[in-house]
Each structure stands twice: as C-alpha cells, then as structure tokens.
Structure 1
C-alpha cells in the first residue's frame, strides 16, 4: 500500500518534565525538538512534494530541499523539520521569510541562508508502508537510508537516545543554539497520523516584562499582554500569557488601571494568535507593574512565539529595570506581530 499526500503528521502532547521510562510502549526514544517547520517530504514516482503540518505546499519556499528529495535514489515519505542556521543559532524568522516570499526570492535566500532537513521518521520506503511498524523498525530503516545512500547536506539525521542524562543536556545546554526541548516516543509505537501519541517537554526560562494590556475585565483579567521597551524607548509587545490562575487574576486586578488614549498601544492591532489574521480584543493598562513569567526559548524578533505562563507580580522591580526588548534572546527576522 502506498501513502498519498497529504498526510497528517503524528503529534505530541506537552508535558512539564521528561516522562518516566515506562510512560510509552517499549520504553522511551528521546529526540531533540528543533526550532523549525514541520515538513513531510513525499518523493514518489518521479514527483516531489514538500507539505507543511496543515498540508500547504512548500516546494517553492525550500527549493534546496525539493531538489535534494528529487535526487534521492528511491521513493520515500519522510517526516522531519526544516531548519535554517544563522550566526550559530536556528532562526525561525528566516524560515518565515521563505514561506512569505515569491519563489525567485526564496531561491535567492537559499543561496545566502541554506535550509537543512532534519529527518526523524520514515513513513514509507519504496512501496513498503511503515506507519504500522513500531518506531524501532522505522528508525532502523531511516538510519539504513542515510547510510546506504551516504546522505549529506541538506539532509540531517535527527539524533535519538534512551539516555535521560543526554536528553537533559539537550534541554539545557543546547537551548542557546535553537533546541526548544525534547520529544519522547515509544520504541514500540506505530505512527498514528493526526494523533497525539508522543510527549514533548520544552526548555523554559523565567523572565520579566511589563503588564501593558489585558484581555477580559481589568479588575479580573483572563490573560495579560507583556511589553518591553526597545532601545528607542518604544513599548513593544513581548509576550502574551496563558490564562491566569484565580489567585493571580485577583492580585493583578487589584493593582491595574485602565489606560487612556495616550497609551502607546491605544490604537494598535494585535493578532489573536501567531500567524492568524483575527485581531485580539484587549484593554491597555498603565504600564506601571512588572510580571515574572515562564516561557520557552522560541523567541522571534524579541517576542515569545508561544504563550508564556505568568507567575507573579514583581513589586521589587521597576518597569525601567526590565530587560530591553530582544535582550538575551534571538534577534530573529521580522517585526513583532503588532501593527498600527
């Protein structure tokens, strides 16, 4: 049986720590989670397709990967991530530039900042479908594919280990170069398209930012929008929180004051979610209070891509003492998704 595009990739459920060894069938296979785009590579019958997680064709965005796939000596369906390294760090913003540009521009960028494909699963080889095979069988076939054909750049084989200490190093020591966390798979698990059968844990760090706006009522906010001042003194959107706990909602509501028309975000339009066109309904507040938060390492142009967890108000820190916008994190390409 031959797989046909599109295919929904298997997904992972977030967890706060590395799972116990027996959490998944057959024990844990641990892989680093890179800061990249999920990409399914179809190479079948002389045709090549690169598909995003939601089935969007990305052949034009990553021509070097499409050409390398077309040159493979056998038909395959691969699951993995496409990444771009800039100045020693994986840059998500560089990937976004490719997706949103014309084909000729993406091809030019491919010469300046080439992409690599990190393969971590093999779903089909030749006419043999592997999705029903356990991960240990798929992994062995993937390693054989790389060895038999001596695959080199832009191909990269994702490392895998059963050693929890090694995985913990990926979580901590590798985060500065763009490793977001670790994905745990069961050695005996089949590949279930569209299902959340894996587990993932992200590296997280605490930080501080200014409470600049809220969703929901000011007296009991649902979430907070956090800002940092840039070097020019402009308050920039840095992060949006997940839902506040009831206790923190009460603490925050007691000190916040709705801002007037002079607030720098009074006329701003903020996307409801990363990459979405829908606008968020929010209320600006006086930027007088600092929030400590817990966020992952996926930061683009100074803004946290994923929602952060608000921890507590920091009455001991003044807004002027908060790190500047972009300090200590990736200066990825493109502006924060706030427009006036």
Structure 2
C-alpha cells in the first residue's frame, strides 16, 4: 500500500437509516488519522494526506506496540474534564511540534480505531467487507494487548441501541453516529458511509478567499444551490490550517459573489463544514476544514 492512502468519507443524513446489514458506530469529534506501522517507526497521516506524526507523537509511540505492516484508520480525540473536545484536538493539530508536546503532557490524545486497511499477514484488506475487516481489527487489538490510548470504537447492528448512543453520549462529546453497510468494501475518496449529527451541518467546496493567502480572512464557498458566498471571519486556527492549501494554489483571479463582494478565486479541491442554517443568508459559518 502506497503512502498516503485515500480515506473513505461519509455523507450527512437527517434521520437514522434502518435496515438489514447496517452497522452503527459513535461518531467521535476529533481529527481523522491513519496510523502506519512501519518496520522501525510509526507514521501518522491526516485525512488530506499530510504527515502529521510530529504533533501526535504520543499516539505514534503507542502505535509501536503494533506489528509492522499494520495500517489503521481512526479518529484522534482529546478529552477535557471527561468530555471529548474538538477544540483541543484542533489546537493540537495546528500546533508546532514543540507546542504539541506540551499539550500532550497536559491532555494526552486517544486513537479511536474503526478500520484496518492493511495487515502483515493478509496484506491490503480494503477489498474485504466491513464485517470481515472489523473482525480482523478486533482480533488484532486483542492479540497485541492494545488498550488506551489505542482502542476500537464500539459497533452495533441494533438500531435501538444506536439511538441510545445518539442521545446518551452527546454529553460526553460524541457528535452523532456513523452508519456503514456490513457487506461494503473500503473505497477511498468515496462518500460510502453515512453520518447523523446532532448539529446540522453540510460540506461545501472552497472556491476562493479574501485577504492574503497566508492569513485568509474569509472563505468563498459554493453552496448546494450553486451560490458563491463569503464565510464569516475565519478563526485563527482555521486560517492557519487552510493557509497552506490556498498558498499552494497560486495567485487567484479576481471574482465576485452574487452580492458583488470581491474575492480571489482559486481551485484547491478543499471542502469545509458549515452550519446548515447559516446558508440561507449570504454569509456562512465555517465550523471546520475537512
């Protein structure tokens, strides 16, 4: 398997799907990571394919207990006062390596694993069904005595039990549910999974920005109805996270939104999450980069 791997994605749904061969997992509010256990080390990959080992060294160290040749897909989460904190995970992801080490001492990260993409004995497992991959994952973690900070997310085929998770775990920072078809293979880049969130959000395409690329002030995004709108002012962590993508895209061409607001148009192939309710107006609220 070649680095970086393209990860499977999910599409949002408004109600809980129910039917045969559906499997439910709690959706944890953290940062997507792929853990690669190499012969001598562990590397950690972000959803976008960047090497982010330096800011998650505590997880890389824990991953050394796994056998070489394992590649796991999961979510890095940070707990604050017993609750999963996305802002804490975001702060870690956007830190310098030195700052990340200090944050790790105060609030160590956990890696919630939900898939195995490669196994030293079986090779590439992405062509296996979800049910078969999940059984292999559980077997692997048990065989090597894995526990916190690396452990699997729970799963169930019971829709009623999934509803209990959805309602009861929100107070602990669980943002919803992931729904997967048991017979499905792992398709990188495909929105083959479904996600049900407490917060109503949607994914939109980034088509430009205002301000300097190294410190963008607003994003120009294309909404589902085709409109291009500017976001509210980006938070410092979001601006820092998006700046490398915007800078790499090169100089943008001058463009305007439907309301006549100027922005620099670029093709970056990036997606951000926005609050659904804000898209009725010309300014949208970006909650995170994808």
Structures share fold, TM-score greater than 0.5: yes
1 or 2, which has the higher helix percentage? 2
Give the corresponding residue for 1:165.
Answer: 160
Distance in structure 2 (CA, Å) of the matches to 1:122 and 1:244: 33
Q: Which runs of 5+ in 1 are unaligned?
A: 206-240, 246-267, 284-304, 313-335
Give the corresponding residue for 2:251.
Answer: none
CA pair 173-271 structure 1, distance change in 2 beyond 3 A: same
Give the corresponding residue for 2:90.
Answer: 96
Instruction: Give the SS at the match of 2:274.
Output: coil
What's the CA shift for 1:310? 5.4
Instruction: Give the SS at the match of 2:73.
Output: strand
Distance in structure 2 (CA, Å) of the matches to 1:310 and 1:103: 35
Aligned residue among 184, 196, 208 for 2:191? 196
**Contact 2:24-2:162 at 8 Å conserved across structures:** yes
Instruction: Give the SS at the match of 2:17.
Output: coil
CA pair 51-243 structure 1, distance change in 2 beyond 3 A: closer
Give the corresponding residue for 2:265.
Answer: none
Q: Is 1:40 aligned with 2:8?
A: no
Distance in structure 1 (CA, Å) of the matches to 2:232 and 2:191: 33
What's the CA shift for 1:165? 1.1
Distance in structure 1 (CA, Å) of the matches to 2:39 and 2:118: 13
What's the CA shift for 1:196? 1.2
Distance in structure 2 (CA, Å) of the matches to 1:114 and 1:175: 21
CA pair 187-109 structure 1, distance change in 2 beyond 3 A: same
What's the CA shift for 1:121? 0.3
Aligned residue among 14, 17, 24 for 1:16? 14
The count of corresponding residues between Structure 1 and Structure 2 is 238
- CA-based RMSD of the aligned residues comes to 3.5
What's the CA shift for 1:89? 1.3
**Contact 2:65-2:144 at 8 Å conserved across structures:** no
Give the corresponding residue for 2:274.
Answer: 306
**Contact 1:172-1:203 at 8 Å conserved across structures:** no
Aligned residue among 56, 61, 72 for 1:62? 56
What's the CA shift for 1:109? 1.3
Give the corresponding residue for 2:212.
Answer: none
**Contact 1:242-1:309 at 8 Å conserved across structures:** no
Q: Which of 1 and 2 has greater Rg? A: 1
Distance in structure 2 (CA, Å) of the matches to 1:244 and 1:164: 30
Q: State the TM-score, normalized to the length of structure 2.
A: 0.72
Aligned residue among 21, 41, 46 for 1:52? 46
Q: Deviations over 1:49-68 (max 9, x none)?
A: 10000011111111110111
Q: State the TM-score, normalized to the length of structure 1.
A: 0.62
What's the CA shift for 1:88? 1.9
**Contact 2:39-2:68 at 8 Å conserved across structures:** no
**Contact 2:73-2:114 at 8 Å conserved across structures:** yes
